[in-house]
Structure 1
């Protein structure tokens, strides 16, 4: 992570915040919301911290070493076969969360939350990695939001059925490739291998005393267990910028802690640009592969205006008139949380909202090009979700009519 920060600093993409800040006054959150650049806090609660590490596609492409124009296609070709090198045991000390500048973001949040902690968990020989928001309860415990049906949730339930606790380790301050891999739907247990692939082929890890493997260069590692205890978690702002409700969630009890002597804490602004990038970009390769099965796909973008999660713009090269609608259906199947999909031609930049709106304005006939699908599963994060868990999805085919391209194509010099 440090090497990446310095790389971005040389490009003028780091803002140094040298005046002292408090993790409790929400000023850091307000500053992060006002810029896409990396914010490097030199003194927040007596420690160093970073926000907006990968708050736009350009930063993500620099972190992964992939040209921005080819980002989605390259990620769609992943093989998840990186090499994991075990460098031995990681020495731990007594945990003390008060040493870490865990931030309070919005007035109605339940408290101070870890938002960039990658939780590595291990059960029955399989290790998973994913990000979970965690409410600090005291110096050794947090309440973790484990989304129902996701891998950590399933592993935890299996451990409880066996009368055991799930061993975990939370990593804060890893290379962005590790964070990105943990946010991506990969084959079971392949997050570390995927991170290794993104890093050039190899990742070095250390083993915690509970058997969980973590990246060797992490700034902070907290090891512990998720047992049967639950407590209230929330309210908390999620990806849509609205408050998520209070739920009964599992408690993680930390039993060990490692930090670099001069550690840099990483925090993600809830509902901010980095949150949107990490929510949306990992789904783009999955959608790309699905659409490639029905037509020639050029690019996929989950837009910031769509919370990085609910809206997709798909760029295709049509060969038949129905390709646009086929692309829409493939996208909805690949990412069930999608709410609205717009399909555009090769001459439209899917990353440019102006260009996309132009395509909708000049190439869409409502009775012919708009699909409305009712009574389908949507995202639990969408405030419009109905009481029965269903929602309405809309697909917009904003492509030119085949054989009539000259009537739609823009004049150029």
Structure 2
């Protein structure tokens, strides 16, 4: 299934909103996506086609994975990055080749009033250096007709590869992939061993992922648009401001420059944009950590499910559902969750009878099963997330774990009343 076929599937299911009137890439299209639930297809964004909120809900993600909403984490926990990758000679991405690069020909969006400029937000940066490949989404600010500023976070793989190339005063070849199959985009956000992102996507899809070679040697999957180029070993510019997952502005930093040398795209391509701090951004950032937490907690107790909540930016708050065996299980689960995802700030552990997707049910557990002096763990002066505006400048924070499980010896006190069936 291609990106276009996935859109057709969304349309057939009735989950796709279509906007046929012309809209601007500056503010207007992002505003519409922000105020629309589910995927939004724009027929005319400054003369081009675009889509947002592609994986903007767990329903879309579940549909992509072929499971129901409650089974997403179990599915992701089972999949290993061992799928098949095939190199092919041709690609529909090469229907149009532009050697004269002008990024303004694409509907690259400006989202918020204080943005540093237009940003590519769903671009998978595929890089190769000395036989090592990596694929990851990085925010990319347009800083010229053929230049992008890339936010490279240390010590992630693209940062490391660029550092190695720069130490040898060599450019790092890259290709920026926009709108491949959504499973490939999702896989590129997942923490897998270096160079295994496309193998992971193949395992998710249950079929091989085909790659073709760009003129700079970088191998990429079929997509609507591919930008070829290289990351300069020395040139840096101000990157930002940019709205990150908390809905607040991240810092302005000096970041490396990507020079775009060629654009490949399908005829009448469909541009994919991810709304910063929108539902798709949150899910793409958070969901890949849920199976990590699931697996870590499974080492200390019987875990049933995990969710990173939208209210916690799908990044800072986790709810962990366990089948409690001993009184220490919940606190062990809290510590395992913090170890698995170091950016977590608050963790709530609940029993099997609590619906972790219903925040009212979770609040009920906190209200009726928590005794503050014994069920709340406070861990000061530990590493947190750089995206947390309440964190310290050196990245440290205070973490809180809440044991909202029943006291096993007094389980009768916590039995929830049920209506009899007719």
1:165-184 matches, within 5 Å, as: 165-184=171-190
Spell out, residue by residue over 1:200-230, the C-alpha distance to the aligned partner (whole angstroms, 9 max, x if none).
Answer: 13111111111111112x0000011001210
Aligned to 2:15: 13
Q: What secondary structure is seen at the aligned counterpart in 2 of 1:329?
A: helix
Native 8 Å contact 1:89 1:208 kept in 2: no
Corresponding residue to 2:371 among 362, 365, 368: 365
Aligned to 2:47: 46
Aligned to 2:326: 320
Aligned to 2:312: 306
Aligned to 2:227: 222
TM-score by length of 2: 0.96
Correspondence 1:189 to 2:195: yes
- Counterpart-to-counterpart distance in 2, 1:345 and 1:385: 30
Q: Which moved more, 1:324-333 or 1:27-36?
A: 27-36
Task: Number of aligned residue pairs: give it.
Answer: 411
Corresponding residue to 1:384 among 383, 390, 402: 390
- Counterpart-to-counterpart distance in 2, 1:47 and 1:261: 11
- Counterpart-to-counterpart distance in 1, 2:89 and 2:217: 11
- Counterpart-to-counterpart distance in 2, 1:6 and 1:356: 37
- Counterpart-to-counterpart distance in 1, 2:412 and 2:177: 54
Spell out, residue by residue over 1:258-302, the C-alpha distance to the aligned partner (whole angstroms, 9 max, x if none).
Answer: 011110000011001100000100000011010000000011100
- Counterpart-to-counterpart distance in 2, 1:64 and 1:165: 37
**CA RMSD, Structure 1 to Structure 2 (Å):** 1.0
Query: Which structure 2 residue ranges, 5 or more long, are not aligned?
Result: none
- Counterpart-to-counterpart distance in 2, 1:195 and 1:287: 20
Native 8 Å contact 1:89 1:209 kept in 2: no
**Cα displacement (A) at 1:403:** 2.2
1:222-301 matches, within 5 Å, as: 222-227=227-232, 228-301=234-307
Q: What secondary structure is seen at the aligned counterpart in 2 of 1:209?
A: coil
Aligned to 2:6: 4
TM-score by length of 1: 0.98
- Counterpart-to-counterpart distance in 1, 2:305 and 2:102: 45
Q: What secondary structure is seen at the aligned counterpart in 2 of 1:269?
A: coil
